[in-house]
Amino acid sequence: MTRALLEAGHRVSVVAHSDVDALRSIELETAMRFGKDRLLGVRADISRVGDCEHAVSRTLHAFGRIDILVNNAGRYFPSFDAEGNVVPVKFWKSSAEEWREAIETNLNGAYYMARLVAAPMIERHFGRIINISTSWRSLVRNGHGSYGPSKAALEASTAAWAKDLAGTGVTCNVLLPGGASDTRMSAGVARSKENPLLSPEVMAAPIVWLASERSAAWTGRRFVAKDWDVTLPPDEAAMKAASPAAVEPIII
């Protein structure tokens, strides 16, 4: 998503907590491809209000304003068997600390960041808040602890925030891959020809469209990246990939 937004001409602030090596790597790559003034790397823990304020302040100092917020940070705590496969764990056997950390990052952190950027966006009559979620099955999957519930709450928040922001020029939507993606979070997920992992590249086209002027009429929606047909005009692709946020579609 960062590369896609940079290629579309945006300046991007990337916030990371513990993965400092990845942050440095993308800073170096970006400087070589786009120049040193296009990306800002900020080390912060968005589960802490003070760190969120620091990230916003650094971004404003570097770029002058914030037009788009992508709440992509996520904590997931899988359990593995001896072969390295993910195994379900009953909720009463899970760690209370893991539950707290997932809620603090996946839900509270998104709220802290959105709360900080919403008012300035409203003043300028333009803004895009994009919350990254997961598939319906993952939201309610048994034995997988806090990740699904935290993302389900984020989707409900998206629908509520979109209503709060109605008529302001600021939109709030959900974007998700549409299945397990080939990232570090998919470690231990079974891979097969019938159920291959999605490429992270599926997020590129929809994130660029959601960040643009063309998405102004779309808010409170849920966009599934794997259903985004890049052979279609972007507005048509959006129509095919969209459904109401926090409302599971019924197919008859």
Encoding tokens for residue 49? 């209000």
Phi-psi region of 104 (alpha: psi -120 to 50; beta: other; left: phi over 0): alpha
Task: Please identify which residue in the block is written with the tokens 């102004």.
Answer: 216
Secondary element (H or E) of residue 12: strand 12-16
CA 119/CA 216 separation, integer angstroms: 17
Output the six-digit token pair for 18.
Answer: 């513990």
Helix (H, G, I), strand (E, B) or coil at 94: coil
CA dist., res. 101 & res. 134, Å (int):
18
Domain boundaries, the chain: 47-244
b/e burial code for range 9-24 (CB count within 10 A of at least 16 → b):
ebbbbbbbbeeeeebe
Count the helices and strands in the chain (H runs, E runs): 9, 9
Rounded to the nearest integer, the mean pLDDT of the chain is 89
Task: Give yes or no for a contact between 56 and 46, defined as CB atoms under 8 angstroms apart.
Answer: no
Place of tokens 């950390």: 101
Instruction: Please check whether residue 62 is in contact with residue 13, taking contact to mean a CB–CB distance below 8 angstroms.
Output: yes
Least confident span in 135-139, 159-163, 217-221 = 135-139
Grouping H, G, I as helix, E, B as strand and the rest as coil, residue 10 is: coil
- Model confidence at 190, in pLDDT bands (50, 70, 90)? low
Cβ atoms of residues 30 and 41 within 8 Å? no
Top CATH class, 47-244: alpha beta
The answer on pLDDT for 200 being more than 80 is yes
State how far the alpha carbon of 50 is from the alpha carbons of 45, 46, 53, 109, 229, in Å: 9, 8, 5, 11, 40
Supply angle C-alpha 56, 62, 67, rounded to 5. Answer: 55
**For 38-86, what is each residue's pLDDT tens digit?**
999 999 999 999 999 999 999 999 999 999 999 999 887 767 767 777 7
pLDDT single digits (tens) 208-252: 999 999 999 999 999 999 999 999 999 999 999 999 998 876 555
